């Protein structure tokens, strides 16, 4: 496998989706790993583009079948990353971009650490995050409060990531994540480097 993985994590409302769009528009060979989720489809989302929407029964069946690289229960809904999708993209030399939470990152790290570059995206403070969640008008007050509480827990895992982006100025955050993505695209597992050295020495 000659590809690499860029994991983007952070609180809901921090601007991860907008930054990932910039990566896909500017980094050649970058592909987005579409997560499977049991949450309801939001207005403006497209199944197969934003997420693969399913029900809890089907999701549980895939868990039992070992079809996920990682999966997690977030805000009462399940999210998972297809092993087959990731493996195929890595074999094709792609930069696979994943938008997954802290739980999922810790699991993926155990399985694909040599391929992974990680970045945590957040706002400058808790108040800014809550204001963004309110302004997008996608959740109830109770859901927003839950997301803010979960964000406070996620912040404790920042040191587990290689990079941190404070998404206060979008242009600056975009430039930062594009630099990280460009670097990640050239990351290779040590086994691939060893194979390259052997081929190089033979010719």
- CA–CA separation, 149 vs 119, rounded Å? 21
Through-space distance between the first and last CA atoms of the chain, rounded to whole angstroms = 22
Burial of 197 (0-12, 13-18, 19+ CB in 10 A): exposed
| 1, pLDDT greater than 70 | no
Contacts for 105 with CB less than 8 Å, ≥ 6 apart: 7, 9, 70, 118, 157, 160, 161
> Which residue range(s) make up the domain with 167?
4-202
Write the CATH number for 118: 3.40.50.300
Q: Report the pLDDT value the prediction gives residue 141, as an integer from 0 to 100.
A: 87
Joined together, the tokens standing for residue 109 give 């790290």
DSSP string for residues in 30-66:
EEE-PPEE-SPPPTT--BTTTBEE--HHHHHHHHHTT
- CA–CA separation, 87 vs 135, rounded Å? 37
| 106, pLDDT greater than 80 | yes
pLDDT tens across 120-134, in order? 999 999 999 898 888
Q: Report the pLDDT value the prediction gives residue 43, as an integer from 0 to 100.
A: 80
pLDDT tens across 38-97, in order? 988 888 888 877 889 999 999 999 999 999 998 888 778 899 998 888 999 999 999 999
| 28, pLDDT greater than 70 | yes
pTM of the model: 0.83
Domains in the chain, number: 1
- CA–CA separation, 102 vs 195, rounded Å? 32
Of 108-117, 142-151, 163-172, 182-191, the one with minimum mean pLDDT is: 182-191
Q: Report the pLDDT value the prediction gives residue 200, as an integer from 0 to 100.
A: 84
- The residue with greater pLDDT, 180 or 141, is 180
């Amino acid at each position: 496998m000659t590809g690499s993985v860029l994991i983007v994590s952070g609180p809901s409302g921090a601007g991860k989706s907008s930054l990932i769009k910039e990566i896909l528009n500017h980094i050649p060979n970058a592909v987005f790993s579409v997560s499977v989720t049991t949450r309801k489809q939001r207005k403006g989302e497209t199944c197969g583009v934003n997420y693969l929407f399913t029900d809890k029964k089907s999701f549980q069946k895939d868990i039992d079948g070992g079809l996920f690289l990682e999966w997690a229960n977030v805000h009462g809904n399940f999210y998972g990353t297809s092993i087959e999708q990731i493996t195929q993209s890595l074999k094709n030399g792609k930069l696979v971009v994943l938008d997954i939470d802290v739980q999922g990152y810790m699991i993926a790290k155990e399985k694909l650490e040599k391929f992974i570059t990680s970045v945590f995206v957040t706002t400058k403070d808790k108040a800014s995050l809550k204001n963004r969640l309110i302004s997008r008008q996608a959740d109830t007050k109770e859901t927003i409060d839950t997301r803010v509480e979960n964000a406070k827990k996620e912040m404790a895992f920042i040191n587990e990531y290689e990079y941190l982006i404070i998404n206060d100025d979008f242009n600056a955050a975009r430039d930062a994540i594009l630099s990280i993505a460009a670097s990640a695209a050239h990351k290779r597992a040590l086994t691939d480097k060893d194979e390259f050295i052997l081929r190089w020495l033979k010719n």
